[in-house]
Amino acid sequence: MIKFEGLTRESALELLNAPTPAIIKDYYNTPYPVSDEQIEYYQENGFIKVTKILAGDALKYARKVIQAAVLLRKEHDKRVLSEKSQYEQSFLQCGYLCFDFPAVKDVVFSERLAGIGRDLMKVKNIRLWHDQALFKEPGGRPTDVHQDSSYWPVKEPEFTTTIWMAMNDVPVEKGSLYFYPGTHKPGLREYIDIFKNPHFPDSLDPQNNVKVPLLAGDATFHSGLTFHGAGGNNTNEMREGMTIIYTKDGSHFDASDARNATHKSCNGLTDGEIINTEYTPVLA
Protein backbone atom coordinates (compact mmCIF):
# COMPACT_ATOMS: atom_id res chain seq x y z
CA MET A 1 0.00 0.00 0.00
CA ILE A 2 1.34 3.42 -1.01
CA LYS A 3 1.67 6.00 1.76
CA PHE A 4 2.96 9.56 1.89
CA GLU A 5 3.76 11.48 5.05
CA GLY A 6 0.92 13.75 6.16
CA LEU A 7 -1.55 12.49 3.54
CA THR A 8 -4.73 10.52 4.14
CA ARG A 9 -7.43 9.73 1.62
CA GLU A 10 -9.58 12.52 3.04
CA SER A 11 -6.84 15.14 3.06
CA ALA A 12 -5.78 14.12 -0.46
CA LEU A 13 -9.32 14.62 -1.80
CA GLU A 14 -9.62 17.96 -0.06
CA LEU A 15 -6.30 19.17 -1.44
CA LEU A 16 -6.97 18.01 -4.99
CA ASN A 17 -10.36 19.66 -5.21
CA ALA A 18 -9.42 22.96 -3.55
CA PRO A 19 -8.48 25.94 -5.74
CA THR A 20 -4.77 26.35 -6.36
CA PRO A 21 -3.53 29.42 -4.43
CA ALA A 22 -3.36 32.39 -6.79
CA ILE A 23 0.30 33.12 -6.07
CA ILE A 24 1.24 29.55 -7.02
CA LYS A 25 -0.92 29.56 -10.14
CA ASP A 26 0.78 32.79 -11.20
CA TYR A 27 4.15 31.10 -10.73
CA TYR A 28 3.09 28.19 -12.94
CA ASN A 29 2.40 30.69 -15.70
CA THR A 30 5.50 32.86 -15.27
CA PRO A 31 7.86 32.32 -18.24
CA TYR A 32 11.12 30.48 -17.69
CA PRO A 33 13.78 31.97 -19.99
CA VAL A 34 15.50 29.51 -22.29
CA SER A 35 18.87 30.52 -23.75
CA ASP A 36 20.10 29.99 -27.30
CA GLU A 37 22.80 27.73 -25.85
CA GLN A 38 20.18 25.52 -24.19
CA ILE A 39 18.18 25.27 -27.39
CA GLU A 40 21.32 24.35 -29.34
CA TYR A 41 22.24 21.69 -26.76
CA TYR A 42 18.76 20.14 -26.91
CA GLN A 43 18.70 20.18 -30.70
CA GLU A 44 22.13 18.52 -30.86
CA ASN A 45 21.76 15.95 -28.09
CA GLY A 46 18.03 15.27 -27.92
CA PHE A 47 17.83 15.99 -24.19
CA ILE A 48 18.73 18.66 -21.66
CA LYS A 49 18.71 19.24 -17.90
CA VAL A 50 16.93 22.41 -16.79
CA THR A 51 17.40 23.51 -13.18
CA LYS A 52 14.90 25.00 -10.73
CA ILE A 53 11.89 25.12 -13.02
CA LEU A 54 9.84 24.80 -9.84
CA ALA A 55 11.00 26.16 -6.49
CA GLY A 56 9.79 27.23 -3.07
CA ASP A 57 6.10 27.00 -2.28
CA ALA A 58 5.24 26.19 -5.90
CA LEU A 59 7.41 23.09 -5.77
CA LYS A 60 6.09 22.03 -2.36
CA TYR A 61 2.50 22.45 -3.53
CA ALA A 62 3.03 20.62 -6.82
CA ARG A 63 4.71 17.74 -5.04
CA LYS A 64 1.91 17.42 -2.52
CA VAL A 65 -0.91 17.43 -5.08
CA ILE A 66 0.87 14.87 -7.27
CA GLN A 67 1.48 12.66 -4.24
CA ALA A 68 -2.21 12.99 -3.40
CA ALA A 69 -3.25 11.98 -6.92
CA VAL A 70 -0.94 8.95 -6.90
CA LEU A 71 -2.24 7.96 -3.47
CA LEU A 72 -5.84 7.95 -4.70
CA ARG A 73 -5.03 6.18 -7.97
CA LYS A 74 -3.20 3.39 -6.16
CA GLU A 75 -5.30 3.18 -2.99
CA HIS A 76 -6.79 -0.22 -3.85
CA ASP A 77 -3.47 -1.83 -4.76
CA LYS A 78 -2.33 -3.57 -1.57
CA ARG A 79 0.46 -5.61 -3.19
CA VAL A 80 4.07 -5.37 -2.09
CA LEU A 81 6.73 -4.79 -4.73
CA SER A 82 7.67 -8.45 -5.09
CA GLU A 83 4.07 -9.36 -5.97
CA LYS A 84 3.97 -6.99 -8.95
CA SER A 85 4.87 -7.63 -12.58
CA GLN A 86 8.35 -6.84 -13.87
CA TYR A 87 6.98 -3.73 -15.56
CA GLU A 88 5.17 -2.55 -12.41
CA GLN A 89 8.37 -3.03 -10.43
CA SER A 90 9.97 -0.38 -12.67
CA PHE A 91 7.55 2.34 -11.63
CA LEU A 92 4.12 3.31 -10.37
CA GLN A 93 2.54 4.74 -13.52
CA CYS A 94 -0.47 7.06 -13.20
CA GLY A 95 -1.57 8.75 -16.41
CA TYR A 96 -4.08 11.48 -17.28
CA LEU A 97 -4.11 12.77 -13.72
CA CYS A 98 -4.90 16.30 -14.90
CA PHE A 99 -8.37 15.32 -16.10
CA ASP A 100 -9.32 13.73 -12.79
CA PHE A 101 -7.86 16.22 -10.33
CA PRO A 102 -8.19 20.01 -10.74
CA ALA A 103 -5.08 20.81 -8.70
CA VAL A 104 -2.95 18.56 -10.92
CA LYS A 105 -4.47 20.16 -14.00
CA ASP A 106 -3.02 23.51 -12.93
CA VAL A 107 0.45 21.94 -12.84
CA VAL A 108 0.10 20.11 -16.15
CA PHE A 109 -1.41 23.09 -17.97
CA SER A 110 1.45 25.33 -16.76
CA GLU A 111 2.51 27.81 -19.44
CA ARG A 112 5.90 28.00 -17.71
CA LEU A 113 6.64 24.34 -18.31
CA ALA A 114 5.07 24.14 -21.75
CA GLY A 115 6.92 27.25 -22.87
CA ILE A 116 10.26 25.56 -22.23
CA GLY A 117 9.26 22.60 -24.38
CA ARG A 118 8.03 24.89 -27.16
CA ASP A 119 11.26 26.87 -27.19
CA LEU A 120 13.53 23.82 -27.10
CA MET A 121 11.69 22.24 -30.04
CA LYS A 122 11.74 25.60 -31.90
CA VAL A 123 8.05 25.48 -32.77
CA LYS A 124 5.36 28.14 -32.64
CA ASN A 125 2.91 26.33 -30.34
CA ILE A 126 2.69 23.01 -28.55
CA ARG A 127 -0.16 20.84 -27.32
CA LEU A 128 -0.53 18.49 -24.42
CA TRP A 129 -0.30 14.83 -25.38
CA HIS A 130 -0.74 13.46 -21.88
CA ASP A 131 0.66 13.51 -18.36
CA GLN A 132 1.80 10.72 -16.10
CA ALA A 133 3.39 10.37 -12.70
CA LEU A 134 6.26 7.88 -12.68
CA PHE A 135 7.14 7.02 -9.10
CA LYS A 136 9.71 4.29 -8.39
CA GLU A 137 9.33 2.43 -5.13
CA PRO A 138 12.31 1.64 -2.88
CA GLY A 139 13.92 -1.43 -4.39
CA GLY A 140 12.25 -0.79 -7.75
CA ARG A 141 14.02 -2.28 -10.75
CA PRO A 142 15.58 -0.25 -13.58
CA THR A 143 13.45 1.17 -16.38
CA ASP A 144 14.61 -0.46 -19.60
CA VAL A 145 16.06 1.57 -22.47
CA HIS A 146 13.42 2.73 -24.94
CA GLN A 147 12.13 5.55 -27.16
CA ASP A 148 8.97 7.24 -25.88
CA SER A 149 7.64 7.95 -29.37
CA SER A 150 7.28 4.23 -30.10
CA TYR A 151 4.31 4.30 -27.70
CA TRP A 152 2.58 7.27 -29.31
CA PRO A 153 0.55 7.28 -32.57
CA VAL A 154 1.97 10.61 -33.73
CA LYS A 155 3.26 10.94 -37.30
CA GLU A 156 5.88 13.54 -36.39
CA PRO A 157 7.78 12.02 -33.44
CA GLU A 158 10.63 14.47 -34.00
CA PHE A 159 8.26 17.16 -32.72
CA THR A 160 7.41 15.48 -29.42
CA THR A 161 9.13 16.10 -26.10
CA THR A 162 8.77 14.95 -22.51
CA ILE A 163 9.46 16.95 -19.39
CA TRP A 164 10.51 14.73 -16.48
CA MET A 165 10.30 16.74 -13.24
CA ALA A 166 11.90 15.66 -9.99
CA MET A 167 9.46 16.21 -7.14
CA ASN A 168 12.14 15.11 -4.66
CA ASP A 169 15.91 14.72 -5.05
CA VAL A 170 16.73 12.00 -7.58
CA PRO A 171 20.40 11.01 -7.39
CA VAL A 172 21.73 8.20 -9.57
CA GLU A 173 21.16 5.60 -6.85
CA LYS A 174 17.47 6.51 -6.60
CA GLY A 175 16.79 5.85 -10.29
CA SER A 176 17.72 8.97 -12.23
CA LEU A 177 17.34 8.98 -15.99
CA TYR A 178 20.17 8.46 -18.44
CA PHE A 179 20.20 9.38 -22.12
CA TYR A 180 21.97 8.34 -25.32
CA PRO A 181 23.03 11.67 -26.87
CA GLY A 182 22.16 12.30 -30.48
CA THR A 183 20.03 9.19 -30.91
CA HIS A 184 17.09 11.36 -31.96
CA LYS A 185 18.82 12.40 -35.18
CA PRO A 186 19.69 9.30 -37.25
CA GLY A 187 16.06 8.32 -37.76
CA LEU A 188 16.41 5.16 -35.68
CA ARG A 189 13.03 3.67 -34.77
CA GLU A 190 12.85 0.63 -32.56
CA TYR A 191 9.89 -0.45 -30.47
CA ILE A 192 11.17 -1.78 -27.16
CA ASP A 193 8.27 -3.47 -25.42
CA ILE A 194 9.18 -2.64 -21.84
CA PHE A 195 5.84 -4.14 -20.79
CA LYS A 196 6.50 -7.67 -22.07
CA ASN A 197 9.81 -7.97 -23.91
CA PRO A 198 12.47 -5.51 -22.73
CA HIS A 199 15.80 -5.76 -24.52
CA PHE A 200 18.75 -3.52 -25.29
CA PRO A 201 18.68 -1.93 -28.76
CA ASP A 202 21.31 -3.39 -31.12
CA SER A 203 21.93 0.08 -32.57
CA LEU A 204 23.30 1.55 -29.31
CA ASP A 205 26.64 1.48 -27.56
CA PRO A 206 25.77 0.53 -23.96
CA GLN A 207 28.55 2.78 -22.63
CA ASN A 208 27.55 5.91 -24.55
CA ASN A 209 25.04 7.33 -22.10
CA VAL A 210 24.82 10.36 -19.86
CA LYS A 211 23.39 9.98 -16.35
CA VAL A 212 21.39 13.00 -15.18
CA PRO A 213 20.79 13.22 -11.41
CA LEU A 214 18.31 15.89 -10.39
CA LEU A 215 17.49 17.96 -7.35
CA ALA A 216 13.86 18.59 -6.42
CA GLY A 217 12.49 21.17 -8.84
CA ASP A 218 14.93 20.30 -11.63
CA ALA A 219 13.79 18.61 -14.81
CA THR A 220 14.94 17.07 -18.02
CA PHE A 221 13.39 17.46 -21.45
CA HIS A 222 13.98 14.77 -24.05
CA SER A 223 12.83 14.16 -27.59
CA GLY A 224 10.39 11.33 -28.19
CA LEU A 225 13.10 9.80 -30.39
CA THR A 226 15.91 9.89 -27.81
CA PHE A 227 16.79 6.50 -26.37
CA HIS A 228 16.89 6.59 -22.58
CA GLY A 229 16.32 4.57 -19.44
CA ALA A 230 16.54 4.87 -15.67
CA GLY A 231 18.41 3.07 -12.94
CA GLY A 232 16.88 1.08 -10.13
CA ASN A 233 15.92 2.68 -6.84
CA ASN A 234 18.55 1.46 -4.42
CA THR A 235 17.41 3.71 -1.58
CA ASN A 236 14.70 3.46 1.06
CA GLU A 237 12.82 6.48 -0.32
CA MET A 238 10.28 6.79 -3.12
CA ARG A 239 11.57 8.31 -6.36
CA GLU A 240 8.95 10.90 -7.32
CA GLY A 241 8.85 11.96 -10.96
CA MET A 242 6.12 13.80 -12.84
CA THR A 243 6.07 13.87 -16.62
CA ILE A 244 4.19 15.86 -19.23
CA ILE A 245 4.36 14.96 -22.90
CA TYR A 246 3.98 17.64 -25.53
CA THR A 247 3.55 17.54 -29.29
CA LYS A 248 3.81 20.32 -31.85
CA ASP A 249 0.55 22.02 -32.71
CA GLY A 250 -0.33 20.69 -36.16
CA SER A 251 0.95 17.15 -35.60
CA HIS A 252 -1.03 14.34 -37.21
CA PHE A 253 -2.55 11.16 -35.82
CA ASP A 254 -1.07 7.85 -36.99
CA ALA A 255 -3.85 5.26 -36.97
CA SER A 256 -1.53 2.64 -38.45
CA ASP A 257 0.06 2.37 -35.01
CA ALA A 258 -2.68 0.05 -33.82
CA ARG A 259 -1.11 -0.88 -30.48
CA ASN A 260 -1.19 2.75 -29.34
CA ALA A 261 -4.28 4.09 -31.09
CA THR A 262 -6.33 3.61 -27.93
CA HIS A 263 -4.71 6.56 -26.14
CA LYS A 264 -7.33 8.82 -24.59
CA SER A 265 -5.61 11.66 -26.43
CA CYS A 266 -6.73 10.17 -29.78
CA ASN A 267 -10.44 10.52 -28.93
CA GLY A 268 -11.84 9.28 -32.24
CA LEU A 269 -9.25 10.78 -34.58
CA THR A 270 -8.83 9.26 -38.05
CA ASP A 271 -5.52 8.52 -39.75
CA GLY A 272 -3.72 11.68 -40.83
CA GLU A 273 -6.07 13.99 -38.95
CA ILE A 274 -4.54 16.90 -37.06
CA ILE A 275 -4.36 16.15 -33.34
CA ASN A 276 -6.82 18.55 -31.77
CA THR A 277 -9.08 17.02 -29.11
CA GLU A 278 -10.46 17.95 -25.72
CA TYR A 279 -7.51 16.06 -24.20
CA THR A 280 -4.82 17.80 -26.29
CA PRO A 281 -5.20 21.57 -25.77
CA VAL A 282 -2.63 24.13 -26.86
CA LEU A 283 -0.61 25.03 -23.74
CA ALA A 284 1.96 27.48 -25.10
128-147 tens-digit pLDDT: 999 999 999 999 999 999 99
User: Which pLDDT value is given to residue 150?
Assistant: 86
Number of domains comprising the chain = 1
Task: Note whether residue 46 is domain-resident.
Answer: yes
Model confidence over 95-115: pLDDT tens digits? 999 999 999 999 999 999 999
> What is the rounded CA–CA span in Å between residue 177 and residue 162?
12
DSSP 8-state symbol, 173: G
Residue-range definition of the domain harbouring residue 89? 9-260
Max intra-chain CA distance, the chain: 50
Q: Rounded mean pLDDT of 238-242?
A: 98
Residues 199-222, mean pLDDT to the nearest whole number: 91
**pLDDT one-digit tens code per residue, 12-36:** 999 999 999 999 999 999 999 999 9
245 confidence band (pLDDT: 50, 70, 90): very high
In a domain, 179, yes or no: yes
Question: Per the domain annotation, does 39 fall within a domain?
Answer: yes
pLDDT score at 242? 98
Domain assignment present for residue 197? The answer is yes
Has residue 283 been placed in a domain?
Answer: no
The sheet that has 92-95: what strands, in order across it? 47-50, 219-223, 160-166, 239-248, 126-136, 92-95
Q: What is the pLDDT of residue 259?
A: 66
- The mean per-residue pLDDT over the stretch 243-254 comes to 96
Residue 66 lies in a domain: yes
Report pTM: 0.95
Query: Considering the domain boundaries, does residue 224 fall inside one?
Result: yes
CATH number of the domain enclosing 255:
2.60.120.620
What residues pair up with 197 in beta bridges, in sequence order? 193
CB 32 within 8 A of CB 117: no
| pLDDT value of position 187 | 74
